């Protein structure tokens, strides 16, 4: 009986061996998906004890294009700014401000966050 169950199980598994897995995660976009995690968000007071170089200004925006879409969010705008900072080879960002804009022809709601991309020097282990 056990032998019959084992053979049936092996047959079932081999029948699924030609199954092709499809994912919505694009291989080319895999690095882009994790870019925000490469950039740490710092407060201005955190920078007092760190050595860093300012690489430039970054911004990110979140736009609600239609009334049925999700509202624009500060979280999405900050995430897009972190992606832009990662594109500049930054490993840190400090945000200056996030501004909520009124409805216009393009966006029902719109949030834009402004910040500075930073290259934080990592201390050498002595």
Domains, the chain, in order of start with CATH, read 35-126 (3.30.110.70)
Q: Is the CB of residue 78 less than 8 Å from the CB of residue 95? A: yes
pLDDT digits over 81-116, tens only? 999 999 999 999 999 999 999 999 999 999 999 999
23: how many CB neighbours lie within 10 A of its CB? Answer: 6
Write out the two tokens for 75.
Answer: 């979280």
pLDDT digits over 56-68, tens only? 999 999 999 999 9
pTM: 0.74
Q: Give the three-state DSSP class for 93.
A: strand
Q: Give the three-state DSSP class for 12.
A: helix
What gap in Å lies between CA 57 and CA 94, rounded to an integer?
10
β-bridge pairing 40-42 and 92-101:
parallel
């Amino acid at each position: 009986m056990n032998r019959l169950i084992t053979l049936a199980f092996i047959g079932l598994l081999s029948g699924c061996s030609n199954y092709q897995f499809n994912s919505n995660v694009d291989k080319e976009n895999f690095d882009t998906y994790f870019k925000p995690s490469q950039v740490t968000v710092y407060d201005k007071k955190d920078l007092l004890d760190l050595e860093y170089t300012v690489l430039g200004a970054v911004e990110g925006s979140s736009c609600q294009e239609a009334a049925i879409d999700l509202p624009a969010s500060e979280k999405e705008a900050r995430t897009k700014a972190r992606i832009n900072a990662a594109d500049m080879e930054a490993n840190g960002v400090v945000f200056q401000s996030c501004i909520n804009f009124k409805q216009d022809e393009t966006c029902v709601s719109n949030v834009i966050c402004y910040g500075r991309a930073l290259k934080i020097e990592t201390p050498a282990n002595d």
